[in-house]
Structure 1
């Protein structure tokens, strides 16, 4: 956080400003520039590779096909409340009172960083994604990596007048154009790390300013705009102080072991000589998730959500805060300012929370689906809440939550659902009367434009200020404030309102397989969507009147691969696990192979574990295929897109079955595909990196080599070093670091390191705090101590995701070189 203002809650109940302030302070030419010293923008290259990890996530909560519930039983209702300091209906949202008090966010003017539209030069092989339109829908702000780094750009949907709005080298993550058209807000990741900042800029590139996340060690996340565009919601994660010691420096430089050797470029390569490293991190006493090295226990961080005026004319307004929270994002505000919709909770236990802004009381909570964080919004009258929810069901659906005049739940109805596919994206129109729905059908997207009906606006009551007796649910009872998904039972004052429904729905054909983001129609007459496909790079498309028009500044399909080798269209596969569970995946056949000829094959494992393989162009796969290597990208149990039971099929001790799924997928690639059983490699990132290391030690005779990217080698040291909010989610998936210590030890690849028999390459980002670099370091060191060939590549200015084109290219080629050398083409 930056600035000296404090939340208005200290002086009384905060009120959401109903109108836009008129003042507009000019940007100061001597304002603080947020770029760290010594960083430079990446050079442009036609060989950039926007992938699911390097650009916008492909909403990787979405799958190739649906499956029946495990054992023929319906999925249990998901927990509605997270474990850490839950916010219950009827309870006041806790307000942090740190000592000394931390200031609320305040805008800090920055030097303008826009550039002419022809600087840098437009390159053919680039990606564009994460669009956000102006109020008229004819101009789009978006992220593009044509300069080698994901930057903020803007341009018309039907013209070439594209221009760069921020030329700083920090990768851009999200974008949001204000409803009044005056500002474009966006998040950046300084140094490519995991901490993010929220900025805003005028559409012409002037007035750039830092809104939140400027304080050392803090992080800020983008929320929604107020409907009149006057204020923006941001969530600030305060740095967690450590008891008895300063917070550790998580940069790789601080933990480098003796024997590390620097090389030219952005990488550090572990030398072949044995290196002596510091002792591994261990879980602190008491089982605290996310402890620092040395056993000091961190104080839980606080997430605080504010409304911030970009012009600084109105003091920030506190909306909610939670100590020890996993996530907290403001997704919408009712048009009268009475209610805020928050998405909170760790993975697998997300929930929508309605908060009354006048007294900061939570009035309603409903389970919602993982994946895209923009879970829904309010109807114009504030009496219906539209959500993308999988509460009480196998697949996420469009759900209407009826609210009484005090914001309490009065009934839940599934308005649009499919029996074997999930709703992965929900985007509401600015007027709240229509929406775009994107369904995940066996890994391919289907898009619908719908008209919404939320009856009862003419009978809406007005809450009486101060009537807490009527407007507050009784804590612990759940009678008034907690939704009961699937029942649809209306409350007393909603019985005559009638059910919410879809007045119309229209399917829109798509030119490519996967939608990663959708912006509803405005005056332009059609939605704007970000599309990815197996034969194209990510691009932005305009869909007026059902037509599909590629924006002129997005790459052409024929320019997807500058080397002239056309992309490979994968074929779906359905492996069967050892226990009979049907899995999924996509097989890519290297060009030029004679049909049926056995080929060396790379089994590539996605992260998450809840991510999903989609048929999109992946430059890593393209590199491997160009070396004559086939690629099989499976979805083992725990992947999304196949229903809630499939996602939960790897919890706890069932993780051993997920490790066996890798072997089953390799066998399927050999028996049902053309993979050569004597030339198999395994590779994956994040959770896929963990599975890679686990597969190499659980099935040591199956693979000839492995490449583990940002993977966990020891779940105990992982819990001790990861971010606390990551630890909350991971405890639900793998086991609690204190109560399930033996299980975590048994699931850790390091516990079976003596079984490792093949060469291994590990790759990590130097600023990764999700999975600290020490996880790769200790696995490589242990492999070398046993006389095996092992190397570690650390990428500079990268975190858990690799976003810079030069680093992605270095990683891709190093991995392909390694696998080709050990498998042969």
Structure 2
């Protein structure tokens, strides 16, 4: 760390500038509740009586508050910028939240009073900058914020930065799975502006499609990545503006930097840092800016843990030296060094997915990922003397009674996506399931969760007159190399065991994501068109252990492409899918796998829909955000050292093998996977006489958040697949 107070020579990065905004007084004009809406990302006030949450009942995800046990709701920000994260301050005076201006990938952090007044931007107001939330200080006087504004005058070799004193070493060939290997950190140029050509999709209800001329193909001109710029900095910001932002940490060449907690006295800070697959918890001393200790942690939820109230123990969701993530304690000395580390809650072959530690440090709520379904339990955390002896939960020390056994908490649906303490003992849970839309459930006084009145009802999951959603069947698939895969199979209404149905193999993004049994409007749209859906977890997905996540690293990605073909063959062999009517579809990395499957297995699918997918890794690295490129290098390869591998893995390098019609969909403001990735694939296909079209959604980034755009996307994709799978 650079201690800006003691080192006057090192110029500090530009601190985030606050911008006061007009009050957004509660109004529901133009925001009449949509029956089939979703509510998610709850954060309760200190009493647990009210909950701030995100809801798309007005057509776009917005910031709302509601009574935990009543139907009284208020819209706190009437703007149309989608809200991403929400956090109510521990003193109850502020609500911090993250928005995505214009629906793009550059986000900003705002604060507002619970009554909708005093609204202001805390960070991310400058064009091209990005900011996202950390955790509030224990007294609620400041909120941690990470910014990605360019850093001036700092380098990875200067003392005090969180980057190591020596440059990162490249991962040697054949050592991709090594947890302790360091990833090459690299940057990337922003995607430039290009002209547009309008195309007609010919589909009902579709808007004109935008096709932009691509940049030169990577095998003709190889863009060089920029290795500097886009550094990360973490601050403590006073939402009232009385104190200037306080710099906590910098990552001049970082991939991730999030403040997950601070001790009550402000001595120590818990950071999440590092690229995908190599993330770690860092305990930082604020007086010197030095790193006190680091512990490897699992990918997934960024809220990795918390300090105990006295700052002597760190509770972490970690897979250090393990195949599956567990609840780990690290005993800390006065200077923050780790004296002892042990596992206090674990399950065989099951990941700890979510961890929520109460402010008093007495208990925690754990969400376990059991083959895609969540199991929730409340555990009492060890007393200080029991922690010092190394005894775990349920042990007896010095004649004292054992800690209570974990208490299961019943769930109304399959998946929990967020846990928020609500008052001294209550909980606010974001719950989703295969037959309901996302909603917020409240558990008061340690009881069973109850749906909040402002969350949509299960029976309102789909519009009247449409068939009700069905629970999927979990299937196990054996890949050609013997690795076990899994996935969820959805049957279209009217399908029977003897009917070989047209089927869409849908591939999730990440690849470090997991297919979960939750209600997906896209799947319901496809099912309504008479199409079955099989949604597998190919190698590289979460939920099956660290080795499974790492199984696609480097050249292992060729096997992940074959996994798609093996999954399609499996549902055909079971008699579920018609081998003559298969389609493949996916978003982000799933979009890449879609393109790769079409050119590696051209005989298998009759059409494909790639959504925000990478078509060439070299142009992706040159066009994506710098911090995304740094993180992706650990997963896919370095665009200089691994140039040949990335070229071989890129669908554009095998474009001549494409045989079937292709639909590409992209958000116009996507800076994660720039639109040029879809543009160049579509244009190359059309030049070879392959039917190909590109749907560009306005005011969207890598994720589609506006309800109208989401509906357009679903209907366009379903109509395209139905047309090309018709007999």
User: TM-score normalized by structure 2?
Assistant: 0.90
| 2:146 counterpart (231, 235, 241) | 235
User: What is the RMSD of the two structures over their aligned residues, measured on CA atoms?
Assistant: 2.9
| 2:330 counterpart (396, 401, 407) | 401
Partner Cα distance (1:233, 1:626) in 2: 45
Partner Cα distance (1:797, 1:225) in 2: 31
The structural deviation recorded for 1:103 is 3.5
3-state SS in 2 of match to 1:583: strand
Partner Cα distance (2:636, 2:9) in 1: 30
Q: Is 1:138 aligned to 2:49, yes or no?
A: yes
Partner Cα distance (2:398, 2:292) in 1: 20
The structural deviation recorded for 1:733 is 1.5
The structural deviation recorded for 1:602 is 0.3
Partner Cα distance (2:371, 2:263) in 1: 35
Q: Is 1:192 aligned to 2:103, yes or no?
A: yes
Partner Cα distance (2:47, 2:719) in 1: 49
Q: Is 1:725 aligned to 2:609, yes or no?
A: no
3-state SS in 1 of match to 2:539: coil
Match of 2:172 in 1: none
Q: Is 1:387 aligned to 2:313, yes or no?
A: no
Q: Deviations over 1:600-625 (max 9, x none)?
A: 00000001011110000000000000
Superposed, 1:577-616 pairs within 5 Å as 577-616=479-518
The structural deviation recorded for 1:433 is 1.7
Partner Cα distance (1:168, 1:698) in 2: 45
Q: Is 1:635 aligned to 2:540, yes or no?
A: no
Match of 1:824 in 2: 726
Most deviating of 709-718 and 257-266: 257-266
Q: Deviations over 1:696-754 (max 9, x none)?
A: 01111100100011111111111111112221222211211111111111111111111
Cα 1:259–1:552, aligned 2, differ >3 Å: closer, same or farther? Answer: closer
Partner Cα distance (1:283, 1:210) in 2: 44
Q: Is the 8 A contact 1:233 1:305 kept in 2?
A: yes
Q: Is 1:331 aligned to 2:260, yes or no?
A: yes
Q: Is the 8 A contact 2:20 2:120 kept in 1?
A: yes
- Higher RCO, 1 vs 2 (CA within 8 Å, ≥6 residues apart): 1
The structural deviation recorded for 1:824 is 2.2
Q: Is the 8 A contact 2:415 2:518 kept in 1?
A: yes
The structural deviation recorded for 1:119 is 5.4
Superposed, 1:373-772 pairs within 5 Å as 373-456=302-385, 503-523=404-424, 525-544=425-444, 545-564=446-465, 565-772=467-674
Match of 2:284 in 1: 355
Cα 1:767–1:502, aligned 2, differ >3 Å: closer, same or farther? Answer: farther
Q: Deviations over 1:44-70 (max 9, x none)?
A: xxxxxxxxxxxxxxxxxxxxxxxxxxx
Partner Cα distance (2:206, 2:26) in 1: 26
Q: Is the 8 A contact 2:151 2:252 kept in 1?
A: no
Match of 2:194 in 1: 255
Partner Cα distance (2:525, 2:378) in 1: 37
Q: Is the 8 A contact 1:368 1:389 kept in 2?
A: yes
Q: Is the 8 A contact 1:383 1:456 kept in 2?
A: no
The structural deviation recorded for 1:543 is 1.7
The structural deviation recorded for 1:756 is 0.7
Q: Deviations over 1:453-479 (max 9, x none)?
A: 2415999xxxxxxxxxxxxxxxxxxxx
Q: Is the 8 A contact 1:385 1:400 kept in 2?
A: yes
Q: Deviations over 1:334-383 (max 9, x none)?
A: 01111000000111011000011111111100001111100001001111
Q: Deviations over 1:644-695 (max 9, x none)?
A: 0100111111111111111100011111241000000000010100100110
Match of 1:52 in 2: none
Q: Is the 8 A contact 1:429 1:521 kept in 2?
A: no
Cα 1:262–1:824, aligned 2, differ >3 Å: closer, same or farther? Answer: closer
Match of 2:209 in 1: 269
Q: Is the 8 A contact 1:331 1:341 kept in 2?
A: yes
Partner Cα distance (2:289, 2:399) in 1: 29
Partner Cα distance (2:312, 2:264) in 1: 11
Partner Cα distance (1:666, 1:300) in 2: 42
3-state SS in 2 of match to 1:520: strand
The structural deviation recorded for 1:556 is 0.3
Cα 1:399–1:755, aligned 2, differ >3 Å: closer, same or farther? Answer: same
Match of 1:175 in 2: 86
Superposed, 1:302-321 pairs within 5 Å as 302-321=231-250
Gaps of 5+ in 2: 154-187, 392-396
Q: Deviations over 1:171-212 (max 9, x none)?
A: 000000000000000000001111110000000111101101
Match of 1:161 in 2: 72
Match of 2:136 in 1: 225
Partner Cα distance (1:719, 1:282) in 2: 14
3-state SS in 2 of match to 1:227: coil
3-state SS in 2 of match to 1:255: coil
Partner Cα distance (2:528, 2:509) in 1: 24
3-state SS in 1 of match to 2:517: coil
Q: Is 1:149 aligned to 2:51, yes or no?
A: no
Partner Cα distance (1:625, 1:171) in 2: 28
Cα 1:159–1:262, aligned 2, differ >3 Å: closer, same or farther? Answer: same
Q: Is the 8 A contact 2:109 2:132 kept in 1?
A: yes
Gaps of 5+ in 1: 1-6, 14-94, 292-296, 460-486, 490-495
3-state SS in 2 of match to 1:546: coil
Aligned length: 686
Q: Is the 8 A contact 1:283 1:737 kept in 2?
A: no
User: TM-score normalized by structure 1?
Assistant: 0.79
Most deviating of 694-703 and 257-266: 257-266
Superposed, 1:278-317 pairs within 5 Å as 278-280=215-217, 291=225, 297=226, 299-317=228-246
Q: Deviations over 1:272-311 (max 9, x none)?
A: xxx85442468999x96xx3xxxxx363322111111111
Partner Cα distance (1:341, 1:150) in 2: 29
